Structure 1
């Protein structure tokens, strides 16, 4: 928990607010409105675009409000769980400090692979920077932690930097501190057009050496081909699975294995390629070796592969399964309609005389010459073991409105089906699928578009370049429904720890000089899980976008509000966001354009409602659930009260008191709010506020029993 009097040190902040590397501010259309111009924009094309963007934010808020309820934060033992919005991020994935205890927990079962570990340690000692280049899920992250611990000792923690950090600017900024260990997990490369140069890397190495600090970067194998980094790369590989299995068994309580089971385990473990899978097998032995063997046999994967390979499915079986991969769980009546539409796109492709393939595309299993005639019963019988039918209402609907919905047997089956579709079928399937997905992205049905986004995030694990080039890049500048779908794809990509840095990179690539539409998509994407993981980078970019043309600024303000709304149940992130806004507001010159933007943004935060299914103001919820927010909110209120937005600030304060009027336990937070406000005002300003608040509370909307009494607590005239 941060101290209420603190402000953020933004001198080492990544992103566009740093002195170097700031994207040139470009007005996309009209300038940001001057203070006092609250009557609303003049009707016109841009006004219509903002209304469309506003509807998009309403959709985005509905989806995020459904996901945010199940969030939990902080270190947990979830080695066997999937990383996602409802679970904790892998250590070091989110930029910030990783404590010694968390490093120790991460390295509990670590076995240094040789000779790459010793090679990396030697290079780290000589150059103070090393890049572990290897396959995903090969233990690169744990290897980075182990190298830094070897360099600085077992009692040291480390600081994780953003994967979108510019290496060239790290040495030139004050980001590198003395005697520190730094890690960049899943580095995605430079944001700028000019690639990082070898001399910039040498300068970073010299800066690290001068400050007796170390930096380890994990990256894909292709990084070894980058000229500037090749001299610092070490080819990384996973340890031998059988050696790791025995190593891990020595670190858990001994388990007696029945005759023959140990040999079966060894045979199955030898085929594993991910260290995390080996660790899961060992830690699961306590629950019974037979259960571990069953999991290692991977019956779900075998079932999916058999369905595709034993007898090549006809299009009447294949296309509904492909459709379900992107539309799981929508009402069956809607699913059948969209599944038939996919068949129409495939037929149109088959009837095309010239079949032009992509340059690097390979035709795999053909689809021509098959029948699409199929009944729902017949198809579901053939898909037994993969799909099932259940009845449930839609989001926010009454249970009496439950409908039949087709779902996969498990979330993993859905991911496996998409993997098989990618591996077995080429352009003849995916070209019509892309056309079909583009049509779905334009629909008004939010449930459909949400499932499309979820399926595309799973597909991005196998074909990120195709998803980006053929779909996201186009949708990011499309109609509002497409831009919301694009933002949701990036949110769902964050459920895969290795895709999260790529999602950030994609979002930021649309922010500068790519047009207002794509900048709005960036603002939408920097909310939810993406904004939670990369909170400082997201806030920096949103603050930058809030100073752009009015359409982009409108979106940036909505995103800042949405970031705080989704942080309501995460006290640390809520306080971090409030501190950030307070630091930025305090750091802008009065009567400047930047100052006007800061005050307008702050006023919007103070007026914000909670996410749509929870009544009341956001400020009231924070005061109730995060008492430490009172000082931050108080000082933010002062800044707006002493501006041309005073009337809005008084109205927001009254509305907050109305919401809290019957909540006795919150009186202490309200008193702290008043004390913070009083500390930031002169006696004359304080007396004026007392009069304004007293007069405002006479309005019928606020003159509710209990509100005036709570106002007396706020103003300090009631002490009990």
Structure 2
């Protein structure tokens, strides 16, 4: 396949060709056994400062904002972090329906909060569940179906469960009501509580099976004052915002006002009024077709150097038919030649939604150079909302050439440009165009119909979608459909999707479906690499969340009484070796131990099973040696860390396996260490830990 060298034909390739295309894409972009290096580096640069928590915004943080903390979890499922609970409880403006919804939860143990996004349903659900069940709050996956929630989900007494973004799927209203009744009965019998949020009612809202409440956000003044804004200032801000502004935007405004910003400054920094600004810009009688197309193109290429952007824009404008001038169409006369001044760049004044910034960027270049003129939107909010405004005012004739241009551009673009294209498509999908993005881009790209670069971009679109709350659930379901597809390229695209931001936000779904691919694929190496990459990414971003992968592997080794027991144990242990063997500057497992020593017992338990299983023992020795060497060189107190690892291994290994391990590992270290100080240190410590007990001296006979 030669798609990486130029545009590929827009025709679907056969299923027996797509695996080779996927393998070529991995070779081209560094996504092989060494990991998703190039794309993951770009992924980290984009998602580091992105505002992924505290609201549904997708834009990049302002230059003055603090970046997301390295150890901050972005996980959306599993136990709800204490910091999120505290935030939800401390700054909660009580909506009008809260009292009725709370009464419904106490009576039925299950309620549904439905309606448009941006109304604070998740915050309301956390407050309701905390009031009903203060023991523990658990967020469930939006990929679950009503049937599975009613039949398979385990509910524990005293726990509260939160499920955001559930869809009734293909169930009719009557069937959904029946399933909801079964679900409520299960939750009631378990003595638990469940709050579900969705965009639409799951059945008949009037049904008595489960109470439904169409949720509306609290008033703007109430939200601002709850966050500490003075009442008079809150009234002034509410007059400017109205009552339809998304709750997350109101909260961001409150934070700036409390920090001391004036109202105008705070409105500007948070991008309030972006929709009105774009609408006013479009309605300006001086606006030209070229400027509108420029804004549409910048939705997918923001931050690109101006000259590079203009080259891409020229291909777009060349593909858009020139508007017919009055009287020219009927007579067939050619349009007059464009004057030189007609080709001037648009004016970048204060009224424009686009501005120029001097940036140092390596986009489309092999070697970074000096700061260059880069085109960006006036604010992150404008970037996020420009797609929505263009969609409201322009129909299919406007978007069709843009979609064709995107198909062409993605096949010749570098990795950073493709990341921006993916981001723009996610923004478009989040404003009522999910079906269009899925049918026109995700489906053909994920099956390899537009070549390797488009194929490797499809998971990035899903990454960005999973970071946007209104469509996160649909992004998860898209990746799951890929994992279950008969198309090999789509299954490999699912591996990439779960190895990135989607796996960070939904680690339980990622481990579940990557394990599915490990056990069903003829060659499970792609899924093994993906899970190892996800583990390394979690160690880098939030080490506490990386423990979930170790726990999942431990459960799979513990429940091994199956018909194919030997094969499943071997696959699991090979997966363990892949996870522990993934490395960057240092093995991810070593960085995990140095960040969270309390997770050492879980890790040692997995090592013990691998060291006792002879088919993988040699590989386990090699990965263990690399980990010990990394800990010995990176840790501030290598002796202490190495001794802790030795003690944990000694505790985890069965007594009859300790001496065989000591003898075998001693031979391995002597063969590998080549006289190195680290090798001698770890060998002396481990030999001391595993030294055979001294024989007991018997008393002499008299």
Q: Same fold (TM over 0.5)?
A: yes
- 1:6 corresponds in structure 2 to none
- CA gap of 1:630–1:194, structure 2 versus 1, over 3 A, is farther
> How far does residue 284 in structure 1 lie from its aligned partner after superposition?
4.4
Out of 437, 454, 457, which is 2:423 matched to?
454
**After alignment, is 453-462 or 229-238 more displaced?**
229-238
Contact residue 630 and residue 673 of structure 1 kept, 8 A: yes
> How far does residue 408 in structure 1 lie from its aligned partner after superposition?
2.7
Contact residue 177 and residue 209 of structure 2 kept, 8 A: no
- 2:8 corresponds in structure 1 to none
Superimposed CA distance per residue, residues 388-430 of structure 1 (whole angstroms, 9 cap, x where no aligned partner): 0424131797654665433333322322322222222111121
- 2:246 corresponds in structure 1 to 274
> How far does residue 676 in structure 1 lie from its aligned partner after superposition?
2.9
CA distance in 1, matches of 2:145, 2:89: 28
Is 1:206 the counterpart of 2:185? The answer is yes
> How far does residue 539 in structure 1 lie from its aligned partner after superposition?
0.7
Contact residue 271 and residue 382 of structure 2 kept, 8 A: no
> How far does residue 455 in structure 1 lie from its aligned partner after superposition?
1.0
Superimposed CA distance per residue, residues 13-37 of structure 1 (whole angstroms, 9 cap, x where no aligned partner): xxxxxxxxxxxxxxx999xxxxxxx
Out of 385, 400, 403, which is 1:416 matched to?
385
- 1:487 corresponds in structure 2 to 459
Contact residue 93 and residue 160 of structure 1 kept, 8 A: no
Is 1:324 the counterpart of 2:306? The answer is no
Contact residue 93 and residue 497 of structure 1 kept, 8 A: no
Q: Secondary structure at the match of 1:324?
A: helix
Contact residue 162 and residue 534 of structure 1 kept, 8 A: yes
- 1:466 corresponds in structure 2 to 436
Contact residue 93 and residue 226 of structure 2 kept, 8 A: no
Out of 292, 296, 315, which is 2:289 matched to?
315
Q: Counterparts in 2 of 1:392-403, with a 5 A limit? A: 392-394=360-362, 399-400=368-369, 403=372
> How far does residue 54 in structure 1 lie from its aligned partner after superposition?
5.5
Superimposed CA distance per residue, residues 507-556 of structure 1 (whole angstroms, 9 cap, x where no aligned partner): 112222442221211221112221122111211111111111234x2221
Contact residue 354 and residue 375 of structure 2 kept, 8 A: no
CA distance in 1, matches of 2:115, 2:361: 45
CA distance in 1, matches of 2:20, 2:419: 27
Superimposed CA distance per residue, residues 287-326 of structure 1 (whole angstroms, 9 cap, x where no aligned partner): 2554467449946554433321112633322223222211
- 1:177 corresponds in structure 2 to 156
CA distance in 2, matches of 1:587, 1:54: 36
- CA gap of 1:624–1:198, structure 2 versus 1, over 3 A, is same
Out of 305, 308, 311, which is 1:337 matched to?
311
Q: Counterparts in 2 of 1:673-684, with a 5 A limit? A: 673-681=645-653
CA distance in 1, matches of 2:690, 2:566: 39
**After alignment, is 275-284 or 192-201 more displaced?**
192-201
Superimposed CA distance per residue, residues 330-373 of structure 1 (whole angstroms, 9 cap, x where no aligned partner): 344432222122223323999xxxxxxxxxxxxxxxxx999798
After TM superposition, the score normalised by the length of structure 1 is 0.78
Is 1:434 the counterpart of 2:434? The answer is no
- 2:10 corresponds in structure 1 to none
Is 1:379 the counterpart of 2:346? The answer is yes
Contact residue 495 and residue 514 of structure 2 kept, 8 A: yes
- CA gap of 1:158–1:648, structure 2 versus 1, over 3 A, is closer
CA distance in 1, matches of 2:171, 2:623: 41
Q: Secondary structure at the match of 1:106?
A: helix
- 1:653 corresponds in structure 2 to 624
- CA gap of 1:165–1:591, structure 2 versus 1, over 3 A, is closer
- 1:497 corresponds in structure 2 to 469
Contact residue 325 and residue 414 of structure 1 kept, 8 A: yes
Contact residue 59 and residue 380 of structure 2 kept, 8 A: no
After TM superposition, the score normalised by the length of structure 2 is 0.80
Out of 526, 550, 553, which is 1:555 matched to?
526
**After alignment, is 136-145 or 261-270 more displaced?**
261-270
- 2:633 corresponds in structure 1 to 662
- 1:110 corresponds in structure 2 to 92
Q: Secondary structure at the match of 1:110?
A: coil
Q: Secondary structure at the match of 1:183?
A: strand
> How far does residue 223 in structure 1 lie from its aligned partner after superposition?
4.2
CA distance in 1, matches of 2:192, 2:336: 64
- CA gap of 1:659–1:161, structure 2 versus 1, over 3 A, is closer
- CA gap of 1:415–1:378, structure 2 versus 1, over 3 A, is same
Superimposed CA distance per residue, residues 127-162 of structure 1 (whole angstroms, 9 cap, x where no aligned partner): 33221121111222233234334545xx55532211
Superimposed CA distance per residue, residues 51-97 of structure 1 (whole angstroms, 9 cap, x where no aligned partner): 54455535844233344479889x99967986889648999971223
- 2:118 corresponds in structure 1 to 137
CA distance in 2, matches of 1:504, 1:62: 23
Out of 39, 46, 51, which is 1:63 matched to?
39
Give the length in aligned residue pairs. 646
- CA gap of 1:158–1:607, structure 2 versus 1, over 3 A, is closer
Q: How well do the aligned residues superpose, as a CA RMSD in angstroms?
A: 4.2
- CA gap of 1:600–1:224, structure 2 versus 1, over 3 A, is same
Q: Secondary structure at the match of 1:184?
A: strand
Contact residue 544 and residue 596 of structure 2 kept, 8 A: no
Q: Counterparts in 2 of 1:465-544, with a 5 A limit? A: 465-478=435-448, 479-544=451-516
- CA gap of 1:554–1:55, structure 2 versus 1, over 3 A, is farther
- 1:217 corresponds in structure 2 to 196
